[in-house]
């Protein structure tokens, strides 16, 4: 049981490039979410999904896309990276006990 896994752990992009941050969970959780963590700002919700085929926007969705084709996977796409998207990104899934399980994070730098 690996829990929530994220790849890559580190990534450097140039402004305008696109990329996908991968997230997978093996706990059969319906609810998954993406957060970004910036110094002094805590974690802010980007997008979330309540099940396969269903996604919705969180607090800071601009510049990001998501899809949920399976229960296990919830990738986050940056369409055209900007320096303001430099951050640490966390994926999480929530089980029936209302506990969110977080992945180890992806540290993204946009130059």
| For another protein, the closer CB: 37 or 67 | 37
Q: Minimum CB separation from another protein for residue 80, in Å? A: 27
Quick check: 4 binds another protein (CB under 8 A)? yes
DSSP 33-101: EEEEEETTTEEEEEEEEEETTEEEE-SS-TTEEE--SSSSB--EEESS--GGG-EEEEEEEE-TTS-EE
Among 78, 94, 108, 110, binds another protein (CB under 8 A): 94
Quick check: 97 binds another protein (CB under 8 A)? yes
The residue behind tokens 């490039």 is 17
Per rule CB under 8 A, count of chain residues that contact another protein: 25
Q: How many residues would you count in the chain? A: 111
Closest CA to 70 of 6, 106, 103, 24: 24
| For another protein, the closer CB: 17 or 50 | 50
Q: Which residues are at the interface with another protein (CB under 8 A)?
A: 4, 31, 33, 35, 40-45, 48, 50, 58-59, 90, 92, 94, 97-100, 102-105
């Amino acid at each position: 049981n690996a829990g929530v896994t994220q790849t890559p752990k580190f990534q450097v992009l140039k402004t305008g490039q696109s990329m996908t941050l991968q997230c997978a969970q093996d706990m059969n959780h319906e609810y998954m979410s993406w957060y970004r963590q910036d110094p002094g700002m805590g974690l802010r919700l980007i997008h979330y999904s309540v099940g396969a085929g269903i996604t919705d926007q969180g607090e800071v969705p601009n510049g990001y896309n998501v899809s949920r084709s399976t229960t296990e996977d919830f990738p986050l796409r940056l369409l055209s990276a900007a320096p303001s998207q430099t951050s640490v990104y966390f994926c999480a899934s929530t089980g029936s006990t209302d506990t969110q399980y977080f992945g180890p994070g992806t540290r993204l730098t946009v130059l």
